Amino acid sequence: MKLISSKIIRDFAPQMDLLNTIGGGVAQPQVRLDKREQGVILKVALPSASPDTFHVALHNQRLTVYGAYRHQPDDELSAPLFMRVMELPANLDVARIDAVQHGPELRVRIPYKRTNDEPRELDIRHED
């Protein structure tokens, strides 16, 4: 005998998450930074949260990744789930940054700047 239907649980669970967050609880995202040859990939996963809760903002060299919960997609009121702010080093090319939703995980890809730091020999001019 079922006392509570699964629909009620599905409808009630997000509200419990919201009440927990408003009451001082915090969602614990899993954040990982992978260094690759072409650049870095920031991977963010937030268990039990919908992928559309993620947001990414970039201002100068400061990257902010945050999650905001809305009971309905068109609700004006939202509750913050988490926030991570990172100062990006100067060797990353913020003009070519992109964010991709890969299943339940957000991936922010930041390539290294292209530099011409290869050694070269300079011609020496002679002035009289």
Taking the model in full, what pTM does it have?
0.66
- Mean pLDDT calculated for residue range 85-106: 91
**pLDDT for residue 53:** 83
- Residue-wise pLDDT for 2-20, tens only, equals 666 666 666 655 555 555 5
Sign of the Cα pseudo-torsion (71, 77, 83, 86, in order): positive
Sign of the Cα pseudo-torsion (123, 124, 125, 126, in order): negative
The count of residues in the chain is 128
Count CB neighbours of 90 within 10 A.
8
C-alpha closest to that of 82 among 109, 102, 106: 106
- Residue-wise pLDDT for 19-36, tens only, equals 555 555 556 788 999 999
Q: What domains lie within the chain, and their CATH numbers?
A: 6-111 (2.60.40.790)
107 vs 26, higher pLDDT: 107
62 vs 26, higher pLDDT: 62
CA dihedral 108, 113, 119, 120 (to 10 degrees): 150
**pLDDT for residue 110:** 95
**Interatomic CA distance for residues 63 and 31, integer angstroms:** 13
- Mean pLDDT calculated for residue range 100-117: 87
